[in-house]
Amino acid sequence: MEGLKVAKANLKVYIHPSKSNQVSQAVLRELSSLLFTFSEILDGVVLAYDVNSLDTCAKILPGVRPYFGVKLKVNLLLFSPKPDTLLEGKVVKLTQESIHVVVLGFSSAIIAEKDIREEFVCKTKRGQDVYASKTNKRHVIKVGTMIRFLVKSFDDEILHVYGSLIPEHTGSIYWLDKSLEVVSHNDRIEKKRKNEGEQIMLQQHAVNGELSTLDTVQKRKNSKKLKHQKHNEES
Amino acid sequence: MGRVQVSDWEEFPRMENDFSDSQLIHHFRGILVAVTKGDRENYDELVGYLHPKRNLNPDEIAILLTTLKALSGAASYIDSVHHEALLFAVSRMSLWNYGTDVMDALLELIISLAASNGKYLDWCLEMLVKHFVPPYYLLDSLKQENIIDRKTKVLSRVHAALKEIADLVPLAPLRLSPIVVQKMPSVFSKEPEIVMYADNMLRLESGAIGEIVGSTMLPALVDRLLELDVEIGWDGILQEDGKCIFEMELEDFTEFGDDENCDSMPPSELLNRKKLQGNMVVDKLDSLIVLTFLHLESCQSSGRLVEVFDVLLASFQKTVLNAYKSKFTQFVMFYACALDPERCGVKFAMVLTDMFCRDVNSPITRMSAVAYLASYLSRAKFLSAALVTSILQSLVDWCYAYCKSHNFDMNPRAHQVFYSGCQAIMYILCFRLRSLMDIPRLKLQLLNMPMEAIWKHKLSPLKVCLPTVVVEFLRQAKAAQFFMTSETFVFNDVLESDFSKAFGGMDRLDMFFPFDPCLLKKSESYIRPHFVRWSKVKTTYDEGDDDNDEISDSGSDASDDDFVDRNAKDMIDDDMMVTVEDLDFTPDLNKMSITPKSSLKYGFETRLDQCTLMPARIRPSTSPESL
């Protein structure tokens, strides 16, 4: 899943003088106020923070109330879905008109019917609406399915995502991963053939006396893997 | 997009087979999209169907139903700029005016709108919150059976819809809280309206999304209680008279009113209550407090009182504690403590003690905290003597340490926190001394407290604190043989010269006793079983014959509510609740009557005229600025 990032931030928190005897508590409270809100400066929604270091010196602001600024270094976990990134979420409601998804348990996303690729058809199975793929019978999206979808836009006030299921690599994560496995399996067979070819090449290099130690290790590993694969295939 | 003929509309209910839902939805989408291109003809007709009308015929209901259902299918096509008229028409619809079919369809539309576009979330939540109270014309007929039925239908659906929105948009409850608080009826609204709204707030608090909104609902309700509280002026209830806090409640108990509910209270309190009667604000406050009490009870039975209490405690510390002499709101805390004395009750006392002892708090907060603490420890029937002693110990320790570090002459203003602490100690002991003395272990602890040093200190707390409290305290201390050196009472001269009274006019300490008897009729009946009245306190100087005591011992388990049907003598015999908890009596101390002497001294008739002059349970200070 994309849209998550860790940011290191140098922050300055201004604390009310009445909290001068409990600075760290006040700092944490101030940081907590950032949670689940979109911050333009950080360009994302703060999901978690971790204070790295707290400056022991603070600058006092001149004024009626002498607020003081405490400098701190914080690691922030940010959620910033950008258009055309992939998000994952759980389907909570499915109607003919839309699929409602909750991402990471807090952000709601909607995929309107016009943004669902034509491959999917809404059917009613056992009294429950589902979106089933016309081409792959096993590719089904229903309430409770984890899906991967593309971000169309993001409303940073309500943290509402407008998504799309148009691209081919979107849909039920379970099915996508399964199909990926099939693909990778095919890949593996191809790789195997390639590897065999490479080995021959390497052997030729070795004959020429150009095989480095690193290559030897690599070769051993490859041969081990191959053996393992062969063993698996045989069994 | 083809225009749907009116005849077609009328046939919708019969044409369900011909017109599939999806076709209808497609048609509606077309209409909505056409508006953005300037074609408003069909759209205007559509909006027309949504305008609320009275007395719809079945056909009209069918059309409305179809329109709403189709619209919820096309919700993602509704645009706040182009379809303003449509949204306005929907916002004017009220669930209270329709049958369950239309209710469900309208709620479906609201839910679809909330989930389809973030922009409508607040609008939808507001729309739902609006249904917490019925339309104005139904407010007066809320007790009718059909309206009660409709109320259940509407409210259960509204809360279910809120839950559903929260499931689809997990952050919705965070936006709901401020909306609920903002839309809360003002203090000037009608009683049924505000009570019903509060009821819904509490329902949200205990409901599925209570975990998120709960921390806002109760404080908001308490704040509104406080607002109502301050609307009730002191003048209506009280007359300033510092004369006697204790005697006031002792006023003749032997006279009984006709009203059964009022039997238990002294006439002066009745007078106060009568003064409050007919006051709209008082009625509203009373109903809301009772509602909160009931909610607390339900929380207790569902096992989440401790969590709710934490929320209440935080809001108490933030608002109620520092509100200038709140009169009734604090009883919410009292009742919560009474429901779970071991956890909530103890916690409340501990937090108040802590607030008093911590230097970081402002003097006003500390004085308020200790005033609450004193009143709470004195009045709460459910607190153990051991707890009272341990808190007294910490108060005395604090005062003693203060004395040691402040070797100054008397100065009420500079040392107000200290004096308020001293007054609290004395006030608690006025109520509790006898019961503490009855337990040898606690008696020893009390005798070991360095109290004498405090009272004798140069700061002279006895001269600054409220004379009534000081006199009563010294009287009891003398009777309990406290502060005795070679058989003479150390503070005899203070008593005889009536020294402290001379300072009555001087910057006297605040006379705020927050848990003085509650004057609200309905709420009081909940508080009564847990409440200690001064008239029932057994003091150290009460002397009586053994007969009385025997009766009281044997009948001590009975609740003091039972005395309504008894004669006055029996009733007084039963006034033992304070000491009764600790049945560890020493025989000689038991030879005392609990009959308040002063009550025998003054007959009801002779005091009645004075009662009207000084009926205060809760009294404002002559020097409000001292707080």
Residues on chain A touching B117 (C-beta within 8 angstroms): 110, 160
Q: Taking CB atoms and an 8 Å limit, are A97 and B75 in contact across chains?
A: yes
Residue B25 lies in a domain: yes
Q: Taking CB atoms and an 8 Å limit, are A96 and B25 in contact across chains?
A: yes
Q: Note which residues in 154-173 of chain A have CB less than 8 A from chain B.
A: 155, 157-160
**DSSP structure class, residue B316:** I
What distance lies between CA B516 and its chain's CA centroid? 14
Domain A4-79 has CATH 3.30.1490.120: yes
Section B354-370 average pLDDT: 88
**DSSP structure class, residue B614:** -
Residues on chain B touching A95 (C-beta within 8 angstroms): 73
pLDDT at B273 over 70: no
**What gap in Å lies between CA A23 and CA A4, rounded to an integer?**
30
pLDDT at B296 over 50: yes
Residues on chain B touching A108 (C-beta within 8 angstroms): 115, 118, 168-171
Partner B contacted by A96 (CB < 8 A):
yes
**Nearest CA of chain A to the CA of B110: how many Å?**
15
**pLDDT per position as a tens digit, B436-493:** 888 889 988 888 888 888 888 888 888 888 878 888 888 888 888 777 655 566 666 5
Partner A contacted by B76 (CB < 8 A):
yes
Q: Taking CB atoms and an 8 Å limit, are B73 and A108 in contact across chains?
A: no
Residues on chain A touching B112 (C-beta within 8 angstroms): 97
Task: Kindly give the parts of chain A with pLDDT less than 50.
Answer: 206-221, 224, 226, 234-235
* Residue B105 pLDDT level (bands cut at 50, 70, 90): very high
**What 3-state class would DSSP assign to B558?**
coil
- Quote the pLDDT of residue A202: 52
Domain A86-169 has CATH 2.40.50.140: yes
Partner A contacted by B163 (CB < 8 A):
no
Q: Note which residues in 349-368 of chain B have CB less than 8 A from chain A.
A: 360
**What gap in Å lies between CA B71 and CA B77, rounded to an integer?**
9
Count CB pairs under 8 A between chains A and B. Answer: 58
Residues on chain B touching A97 (C-beta within 8 angstroms): 25, 73-76, 112
CB B577 within 8 A of CB B200: no
- Quote the pLDDT of residue B345: 93
Nearest Cα to B519, choosing from B262, B256, B160? Answer: B262
Partner A contacted by B121 (CB < 8 A):
yes
- How high does pLDDT run on average in chain B? 75
**Nearest CA of chain A to the CA of B115: how many Å?**
7
CB B384 within 8 A of CB B337: no
- Quote the pLDDT of residue B314: 92
Residue B369 lies in a domain: no
Residues on chain A touching B119 (C-beta within 8 angstroms): 155, 158
Sequence ranges of the domains in chain A: 4-79, 86-169, 181-234
- Quote the pLDDT of residue A50: 93
CB B235 within 8 A of CB B610: no
What is the span of the domain harbouring residue B144? 6-179
Partner A contacted by B25 (CB < 8 A):
yes
**Cα distances (Å, whole numbers) of residue A115 to A88, A150, A163, B498:** 16, 10, 7, 89
**pLDDT per position as a tens digit, B206-221:** 988 888 888 899 999 9
Q: Cβ contacts of residue A178 below 8 Å, gap of 6+?
A: A138
**Nearest CA of chain A to the CA of B598: how many Å?**
49
Q: Pairing mode, if any, of strands A86-94 and A98-103?
A: antiparallel
* Residue B549 pLDDT level (bands cut at 50, 70, 90): very low
pLDDT at B188 over 70: yes
Section B560-565 average pLDDT: 34
Let me know how many helices (H) and strands (E) chain A has, helices first: 3, 13
* Total domain count, chain B: 1
Tell which of B28, B108, B123, B168 to mutate to test the A interface (max A CBs under 10 Å): B168
**Nearest CA of chain A to the CA of B555: how many Å?**
53
CB A16 within 8 A of CB A69: no
